[in-house]
Amino acid sequence: MKATGDQVLDRVRHARHPLHGVAKWTLIGFQALSGVFALFCLINLGLSLSTFRGENPAARTAHELGVLWFSTPNGQTTSDRAFEVIHGGRLGTEPGAAAIRAHFEAASEGGTFLLDQVMVDRMEAVNGRIDGRVLPSGIYVGAHALGPDSPPMVWVTKWLAHYMLFPRHAYILVVPETGPALVFSASQNGKFPGETEALDRLTARITPYDDRAYDFPSSGEALHEMTIVSRDPSVVARAPQALDAARERLEALEQTYGLLAPNSNTVVGCILQDAGLVEPEVRRSILLAFRAPGLGAACPGALQGS
């Protein structure tokens, strides 16, 4: 046995790489990059399954898997069975606006909850829009994975992006007591509808929360993690005007979008801190830096403190 082991070690020690020259180093480089990518995915998967999971991680995971399974590309309606399978056990098959709002009142008691494409479709079907009749009034920060909404890539990225890409894109959702819910979204100019010459400029939009909004839960971003930042009626009432003022200040800066910072998450973080809704230490926490890259970065120009 010892002789056999020595022979194996000797063969490994004197083995030659099957390729030579450029081909050899190209293969080695590819193997190294593949290893780094696999490690990156495993780390992200570990973070995704161990943080921001709520009080019942198993139920949350089942919810996520169901939504991702039933989510459809842009322009296609979800299956008639989707709502019954995912939400029917708690809400029944035909809940009204009041029942849906009560569901979110209970779900948000811990400060966070999931808002998914299947539920949004039902909310719009029974209420015509997203507003205070189906969501409790308040200011929320939504966060969703990044990914395309069209086939064929969406069938791959909607799974990988949710579990193996820990970072999220954040936006602000305002649900007033009356009137439609509003979304404050920041991104590159080129990501929003309409023609523009400055495609890489950091900009923002305030739109009703419907299927024309930039951050609407669609197939590539079918699951949104919602965090309540304020339920104070006076703060909620002032929010649309305050966000519009922040948008105008951002436009005046003509700031170039940065992949890591300043980006959309930076804008959201600065606005929340400036409004006293998020403490500076929280905004700059290490975990949030991984979850929402750029959230804790220095605020661009005069965006903060105005």
Q: What is the pLDDT of residue 278?
A: 86
Confirm whether 306 is domain-assigned. Answer: no
For residue 81, CA distances in Å to 63, 205, 238 come to 14, 34, 40
Q: What is the pLDDT of residue 215?
A: 79
Judgement on whether residues 33 and 83 belong to the same structural domain of the protein:
no
- Give the total number of structural domains in the chain: 2
Question: Helix, strand or coil for residue 127?
Answer: helix
Confidence of residue 173 (pLDDT cuts 50, 70, 90): very high
Query: What is the torsional sign of CA 233, 234, 236, 237?
Result: positive
Q: What is the pLDDT of residue 306?
A: 44
Q: Which two structure tokens, joined as six digits, stand for 170?
A: 């954040």
Judgement on whether residues 287 and 248 belong to the same structural domain of the protein:
yes
Q: How confident is the model over 193-222, as a mean pLDDT?
A: 80
Judgement on whether residues 82 and 224 belong to the same structural domain of the protein:
yes
Judgement on whether residues 123 and 207 belong to the same structural domain of the protein:
yes
Q: How confident is the model over 277-293, as a mean pLDDT?
A: 88
Judgement on whether residues 34 and 85 belong to the same structural domain of the protein:
no
pLDDT at residue 61 greater than cutoff 80: yes
Confirm whether 184 is domain-assigned. Answer: yes
pLDDT at residue 2 greater than cutoff 80: no
pLDDT at residue 149 greater than cutoff 90: no
> CA–CA separation, 167 vs 47, rounded Å?
10
Where would I find the beta strands (DSSP E) of 85-163?
112-116, 138-144
pLDDT at residue 9 greater than cutoff 90: no
Judgement on whether residues 61 and 44 belong to the same structural domain of the protein:
no
Which tens digit of pLDDT belongs to each residue from 95-125? 999 999 999 999 988 889 999 989 998 999 9
User: In which domain, by residue range, is 43 found?
Assistant: 24-51
> CA–CA separation, 265 vs 138, rounded Å?
20
Confirm whether 87 is domain-assigned. Answer: yes
Confirm whether 11 is domain-assigned. Answer: no
Which tens digit of pLDDT belongs to each residue from 212-254? 677 777 766 789 999 999 999 999 999 999 999 998 988 888 8
Query: What is the model's pTM?
Result: 0.86
